[in-house]
Amino acid sequence: MITIKSEREIELMRESGALVAKALDLLEMEIRPGMTTKELDTMAEEFIRDHHAVPSFLNYAPKGDPDVTPYPATLCVSINEEVVHGVPTAKRVIREGDIVSVDCGVYKGGYHGDAARTFVLGVIDEQVQLLVDVTRECLDRGIAMAVEGNRLHDISSAIEDYARSFRFSVIENMVGHGIGSELHEDPAVPNYGRKHTGVKLRAGMTLAIEPMIALGRSRRAISRRGGWVAVTEDGKPSAHFEHTIVVRPGKAEILTGTFLERKRT
């Protein structure tokens, strides 16, 4: 069931969303080669708790998979061939030349916000830089379609078409989602599909749109049994950007937009 949020609910989601954005802004300013992914996680958790909120992902347990243990951290930090759900540890050091996808969720006032950015550390391979730039643009193009009267897969096809025009690969087994009082609500928001199909978008639907795009040919992200991190099948790098948005007439409202001056996403 897809719920339509009231303006009062959206106001609360604006607060959760702003906190997610500010946490990611903080990480964007602080991330450096030599840091561990655990250091990033601690920084984010302290920031969130200092603002009287709770990390959405911490202890999250996916329904229907008894093999998977509850998620043990605040952030997902996924490096290079890791697509999503990289679990921060004190052993994993971030290096120059890495791309680091950081996903953050915040629960406050009864509602979740969810967003992700891929950070580039130092000088990286030209193709990998293009992958990151294209994935960010995929998100923007998806959001541009999230307006009242369009259909769900107008978002999906805008993302897929742009990624494919660079011969990049869309990860198909991981999707965006509705969001609100639950982190994952209906509908699933795939990053591929046929335009003019899927449910009609209505004002007040709140969606987390999150393209995951890879170099190479992998269309799936695979994880070991019982493990969280999901990697490309061919070991090629993957990028991930995500915003929580509200469907509006004419133009979607982004709830997790950055506060940094040098505007990127």
Is residue 175 involved in binding Co ion (CB under 5 A)? no
Count of residues that interact with Co ion, criterion CB under 5 A: 2
Q: How far is the CB of 193 from Co ion (least distance, A)?
A: 18
Q: Looking only at Cα atoms, what is the longest distance across the chain? A: 48
Stretch that binds Co ion, among 34-42, 45-53, 109-117, 119-127 (CB under 5 A): 109-117
Closer CB to Co ion, 201 or 208, in the complex = 208
Chain positions 48 to 87 lying near ligand MF3, rule: CB under 6 A, are 57, 60, 71, 76, 85
* Distance separating alpha carbons of residues 161 and 17, to the nearest angstrom: 28
Q: What is the dihedral of CA 207, 159, 216, 67, to 10 degrees?
A: 20
Chain positions 48 to 77 lying near Co ion, rule: CB under 5 A, are none
Is residue 208 involved in binding Co ion (CB under 5 A)? yes
Partner from Co ion, ligand MF3, none contacting 98, C-beta within 5 to 8 A by type: none
Partner from Co ion, ligand MF3, none contacting 71, C-beta within 5 to 8 A by type: ligand MF3
Partner from ligand MF3, Co ion, none contacting 81, C-beta within 5 to 8 A by type: none
Closer CB to Co ion, 210 or 253, in the complex = 210
Is residue 107 involved in binding ligand MF3 (CB under 6 A)? no
Is residue 44 involved in binding ligand MF3 (CB under 6 A)? no
Closer CB to ligand MF3, 20 or 94, in the complex = 20
Count of residues that interact with ligand MF3, criterion CB under 6 A: 10
Is residue 114 involved in binding Co ion (CB under 5 A)? yes
The residues of the shown chain that bind ligand MF3, judged by CB under 6 A, are 57, 60, 71, 76, 85, 103, 114, 177, 208, 242
